[in-house]
């Protein structure tokens, strides 16, 4: 994170005309201090096409490959500070994958065991990655949060049955949100010298959107517009649009790890600062996956693509030259056997959403 003593920075005098080719960030604490401080990428072709600047946090460059590394580190650190876990203990979590991968990396570095429950609808690559990181993985049927067999409830029961174990409870553990108040938000503000007009991204636990929005709203005196982006099947769009009066259920999305059937404890404290919500159709998200690969050279998962679509839509409501920031949650590596498979895309009714000139990237069977 910013300002850690384990970082070493080049000292540059104000009258030095030489710009170093890179700033060598050194983590004296291994992977732990390498989490965060990700680049903020302007998407030049997309920005030029709409006359506004789309900036995106390259969270796929975290050591574990996603935005969830930040939450994983803060959640475990919080458990340690509260004395909830001791050396040699076990971390248990229910996750769609990325938080589990982040936790598994941090657990390996800190010497904890890691047990993960996840919906069996998630990509095979996520499950394999968790196992390769030494995690014990329990893929279980995907059922609603209200069902006792929901993967989160199963994770809690497993943790309760063990000695020296903690269920990290990423959805309602506000250490998740705090990670973004203390790191993601400040990084974005510093990287754009405070020139942030709007922030948008999707939510799973709500930690990234809520924490980052809270920081940007606070430091800007409320000037930064905060817009929640939602995939089909999530209730948050209807909840926010109706000022909390309606929760419209139904539908599904090819995106993984985002969308929600309830308001989590991570999101709840910041409902009042949300300016608007936008729903992004799967067709637009899959189109953007291919567009970003072809035009910007970015190999992203569906969540990152959805976030960029949302950023473009938000930008169109703002004056020319405005700066809109979003999150590139992870890369496409864990989803490539799906989103670049012509057969899978056709089965999901998404193949025709891809322009003919971009279908050349759907090269997998």
**Cα separation of 195 and 224, whole Å?**
9
Neighbours of 7 (CB within 10 A): 17
**Cα separation of 271 and 125, whole Å?**
34
**Cα separation of 99 and 96, whole Å?**
7
Sign of CA dihedral 280, 281, 285, 288: negative
**Cα separation of 68 and 60, whole Å?**
10
HSE (side-chain half, CA atoms, 13 Å) at 213: 27
Describe the crossing of helices 68-81 and 98-110 by its angle, rounded to 10 degrees. Answer: 50
Let me know if 74 is exposed, middle or buried by CB neighbors in 10 A (0-12, 13-18, 19+): buried
Q: Which two tokens stand for residue 168?
A: 């990290």
User: Shortest CA distance to 289 belongs to which of 235, 237, 207, 345?
Assistant: 345
**What are the distances in angstroms from CA 213 to CA 190, 198, 308?**
15, 9, 16
Residue positions annotated with a catalytic role: 68
> Where are any strands of DSSP class E within the chain?
40-42, 53-58, 90-94, 113-119, 136-140, 165-167, 198-202, 225-230, 276-279, 323-328
């Amino acid at each position: 994170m910013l300002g850690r003593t384990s970082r070493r920075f080049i000292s540059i005098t104000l009258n030095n005309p030489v710009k170093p080719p890179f700033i060598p960030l050194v983590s004296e604490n291994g992977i732990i201090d390498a989490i965060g401080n990700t680049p903020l990428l302007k998407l030049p072709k997309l920005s030029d096409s709409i006359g506004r600047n789309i900036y995106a946090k390259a969270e796929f460059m975290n050591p574990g490959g996603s935005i969830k590394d930040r939450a994983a580190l803060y959640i475990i650190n919080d458990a340690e500070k509260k004395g909830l876990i001791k050396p040699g203990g076990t971390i248990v979590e229910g996750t769609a994958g990325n938080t589990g991968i982040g936790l598994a990396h941090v657990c390996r570095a800190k010497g904890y065991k890691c047990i993960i429950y996840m919906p069996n609808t998630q990509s095979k690559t996520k499950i394999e990655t968790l196992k390769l990181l030494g995690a014990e993985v329990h893929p279980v049927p995907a059922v609603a949060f209200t069902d006792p067999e929901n993967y989160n409830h199963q994770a809690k029961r497993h943790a309760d049955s063990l000695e020296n174990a903690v269920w990290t409870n990423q959805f309602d553990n506000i250490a998740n949100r705090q990670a973004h108040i203390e790191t993601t938000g400040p990084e974005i503000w510093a990287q754009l010298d405070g020139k942030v007009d709007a922030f948008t991204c999707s939510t799973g636990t709500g930690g990234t959107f809520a924490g980052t929005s809270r920081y940007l709203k606070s430091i800007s005196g409320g000037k930064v517009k905060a817009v929640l982006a939602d995939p089909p099947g999530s209730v948050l769009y209807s909840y926010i649009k109706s000022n909390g009066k309606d929760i419209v259920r139904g539908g599904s999305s090819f995106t993984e790890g985002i969308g929600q059937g309830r308001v989590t404890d991570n999101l709840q404290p910041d409902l009042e600062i949300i300016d608007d919500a936008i729903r992004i159709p799967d067709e637009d998200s899959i189109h953007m996956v291919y567009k970003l690969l072809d035009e910007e050279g970015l190999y992203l998962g569906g969540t990152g693509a959805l976030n960029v679509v949302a950023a473009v839509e938000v930008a169109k409501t703002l004056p020319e030259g405005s700066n809109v920031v979003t999150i590139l949650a992870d890369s496409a590596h864990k989803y490539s056997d799906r989103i670049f498979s012509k057969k899978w895309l056709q089965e999901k009714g998404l193949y025709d959403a891809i322009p003919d000139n971009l279908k050349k990237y759907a090269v997998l069977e």
